[in-house]
Structure 1
Amino acid sequence: MPNNDRLLLQILVLALLGASLWVLAPFWSALFWAAVLSFASWPLMPLLTRALKGHVTAAATILTLGWMLLVAVPLVMLGFNLADHIRDAMDLVKDLQLRGLPAAPSWLDDIPLVGERLVALWATIDQQGAEFFDSLKPYMGQVGNWLLARSAQIGAGVLELALSLVLVFFFYRDGPRMATLVHSGLHRLIGDRADHYLELVAGTVQRVVNGVIGTAAAQALLALIGFWIAGVPGALVLGLLTFALSLIPMGPPLIWIPATAWLVWQGEYGYAVFLAIWGTFIISGVDNVLKPYLISRGGNLPLVVVLLGVFGGLVAFGFMGLFLGPTLLAVAYSLVGDWIAHDPAQQQNVETVGERVTEKPPV
């Protein structure tokens, strides 16, 4: 009978945990991002708490307000400026539909060997572009519906981000108690190796945060410099967009390639060539150098494991996979390494050899 009572208690506990997870399911993404934001900036929390003479709630409030200003103000600026640029882009598309491309520049025909071919290619693109726009007219309604659906998704993402900024306050304030709870639970589950895996997860997430956010910030700054030198309007907005798209693979070219095309359209061919080179080798090239360095710095995991986790996690879990993917692969890699290192058969052979060595030789 006691065994039946214990089994019933275990079933009730599992049911309670399942119901709790079901209740929290709509907020998983917001909880995840709040945890990432608080963890990435956690070193500031004890410093600010000491400066405020131990007032944890005040320190958490200040850091939360800092995140709100850091995230909300650029988003508002981006929203207002993006509406203006969308209007300009629509005017440009209408102009292309009516007039087509401008005449090919005179210097294009003067290029040795390939000048005539480039002029012919320019005329072909102009002709095919007009046909392309004509073929799009029957699908404009579908495009509008698609844009409306994407706008709804963006609105849901903004609400989710706002909820994350609210939840981050509680992660700041109650972070030590949460960490103690997780630490105790892992100790009950896997014993002394709990500290190792906690450090592994924390180190992996911190390195990925540094690599992803640091690289995105560097690309945004370099893009802002390039747009400013080339005289592209809305350089600050385009820099913010570059930062946002730098968080996904091959994102920055979606900004600097249209900017280069706009310069060509305006007849600024020298600046267009400059921005194309700057975008290819500087803006996009820094991703291949800085991100691997920041992610691999200070860790003992193979870089390929972390990079596969970043890209594979992005495909499997969406934007959360940037941090979830490498963490899962790092823990799995460490678990397999521990399992290989603590092979019972190998350990028994080592102990047997040790016993033979310690035996006295026969007289």
Structure 2
Amino acid sequence: MLNNDRLLVQILLLALLGACLWVLAPFWSALFWAAVLAFASWPLMRLLTHWLKGREAAAAAILTAGWMVLVAVPLVMLGFNLADHIRDATVLVKSLQVEGLPPPPAWLGDLPLVGDRLVAFWLTIDQQGAAFFATLRPYVGQVGNWLLARSAQVGGGMLELALSLVLVFFFYRDGPRLAAFVHRVLERLIGNRADHYLELVAGTVQRVVNGVIGTAAAQAVLALIGFWIAGVPGAIVLGILTFVLSLIPMGPPLVWIPATAWLAWKGDYGFAVFLGIWGMFVVSGVDNVLKPYLISRGGNLPLVVVLLGVFGGILAFGFMGLFLGPTLLAVAYSLLGDWVGNGNGDALEPVEPLEKTGHQR
């Protein structure tokens, strides 16, 4: 017979859980990134706690302060350099309006099939520069509105990042207790398979962190070397921007292609060719070698499952999908493996109800 009191308690608990999730909804992204950051750097937390003789709060405060410095300083540098480059772009546009375009480069006319047309188009723009800029003027307002909307999104992202850096302190300090709580919840749900799935999730996230962050760092260093050799101004800022854009598919070309075009515009054709080859085969090419190697290390999941999870997760969930996608696919793959391996469809071993175990005693 259905116990109405027990059903009412369950409904109230579900309502309470839903209300809690509603309250936390605005902070899901910040909580998620704080958890990923704490998990990825947990070996540092353990090492620092050992050095400080078990003082977890002090170790958490030091690590959090270190992350704030590592994140805040590059962002401030990037902001100042972007302001300088915006001023330079404004001066360039004004000089083009007054002096017109420089003479077309010699190699432009030597291009097969389209060289003569491109030179004629170049001269047409130079002769009708004022009219050309006049035709662009109606779109300036639209571009300004787009930039304003994007700047608002960037500002919101900065606030979210700041909140993540604050929340990471609590994940550092209370990490073991949170992990124990999650373990107990999973034991109540799936019994003795809780350890397996906790290790699966932890291993998947760690492999993705190693693969994505490690590859981004390698691409940023290689891009920085290329910018220094080619003499591109603001090489450090461009290297930082390469690291950020390396976290998304096809991100680094958004940095080295404009830098290559700038070198060609300045007439440094040799360095432009060098940077184009360096960017295509070294900076972008390392992504195809290093990321699969780092992701596939230390795991028994097929590499294609993790890679599909990374790219599909980004398309489905945005930037958070970088870690959500492969984790979901890994758990689903393991669940199906358990189900097929058991043969009878009982993939999990649920815990027996408390009432039943009480009667057996």
The TM-score with structure 2 as length reference comes to 0.90
* Shift in alpha-carbon separation, 1:95–1:246, aligned structure 2, 3 A: farther
Unaligned runs of 5+ in 1: 347-363
CA–CA distance in structure 2, aligned partners of residues 5 and 135 of structure 1: 73
Are 1:100 and 1:126, in contact at CA under 8 Å, matched by a contact in 2?
Answer: no
Partner of 1:124: 121
Secondary structure of 1:233 counterpart? coil
**1:111-130 C-alpha deviation (Å, 9 max, x unpaired):** 6xx57853543443564696
CA–CA distance in 2 between the matches of 1:212 and 1:163? 23
Question: Quick check: 1:322 aligned with 2:322?
Answer: yes
Task: State the alpha-carbon separation in 2 of the partners of residues 219 and 284 from structure 1.
Answer: 7
Taking only aligned residues, the RMSD between alpha carbons, in angstroms, comes to 2.2
Partner of 1:25: 25
Provide the residue aligned with 2:354 in structure 1. none
CA contact (8 A) 1:102 1:265 kept: no
The 8 Å contact of residues 309 and 329 in structure 1, kept in 2 or not, is answered as yes
Corresponding residue for 1:228? 228
Structure 2, unmatched stretches of 5+, are 347-361
Matches of 1:204 and 1:125, distance apart in 2: 53
Give the 5 Å matches for 1:182-261: 182-261=182-261
Which residue number in structure 2 is paired with residue 306 of structure 1? Answer: 306
Deviations 1:188-216 (A, max 9, x none): 10111111111110000001011111111
Whether 1:60 aligns to 2:60 is yes
SS across alignment from 1:43: helix
Aligned equivalents of 2:45, 2:312: Cα separation in 1: 32
Q: Which residue of 2 aligns with 1:42?
A: 42
Which stretch shifts more, 8-17 or 84-93? 84-93
Percent identity over the alignment is 78
> C-alpha displacement at 1:90, in angstroms?
3.0
* Contact 1:257–1:276 (Cα < 8 Å) also in 2: yes
When residues 261 and 345 of structure 1 are mapped into structure 2, their CA distance, relative to the original with a 3 A threshold, is closer
Question: Which SS does the other structure have where 1:295 is aligned?
Answer: helix
* Map 1:344-355 → 2, pairs under 5 A: 344=344
Over residues 21-80 of structure 1, what are the superposed CA-to-partner deviations in whole Å (9 max), with x where a residue is unaligned? 011001000000000000000011111111111111101111111111111111111111
TM-score by length of 1: 0.89
Partner Cα distance (1:11, 1:326) in 2 = 33
Structure 1 residue 218 displacement after superposition? 0.7
* Alpha-carbon separation, structure 1, partners of 2:145 and 2:36: 34
| Equivalent in the alignment of 1:333 | 333
Structure 1 residue aligned with 2:159 = 159
Question: What is the Cα deviation at residue 311 of structure 1?
Answer: 0.8
Change (3 A) 1:70 1:345: closer
Residue matched to 1:277: 277
Corresponding letter in the other structure for 1:265: W
> SS at the partner of 2:248?
coil
Matched letter for residue 9 of structure 2 = L
Using the alignment, how far apart are the partners of 2:324 and 2:107 within structure 1? 52
Per the alignment, residue 91 of structure 2 pairs with 91
Q: Amino acid of the residue matched to residue 170 of structure 2?
A: F
Cα deviation, residue 88, structure 1:
1.5
Aligned pairs, number: 344
Say if 2:339 and 2:345, in contact at 8 Å, map to a contact too: no
Letter in 1 for 2:284: S
Q: Give the letter for the 1:334 counterpart.
A: S
| Structure 2 letter corresponding to 1:187 | E
| Structure 2 residue identity aligned to 1:291 | K
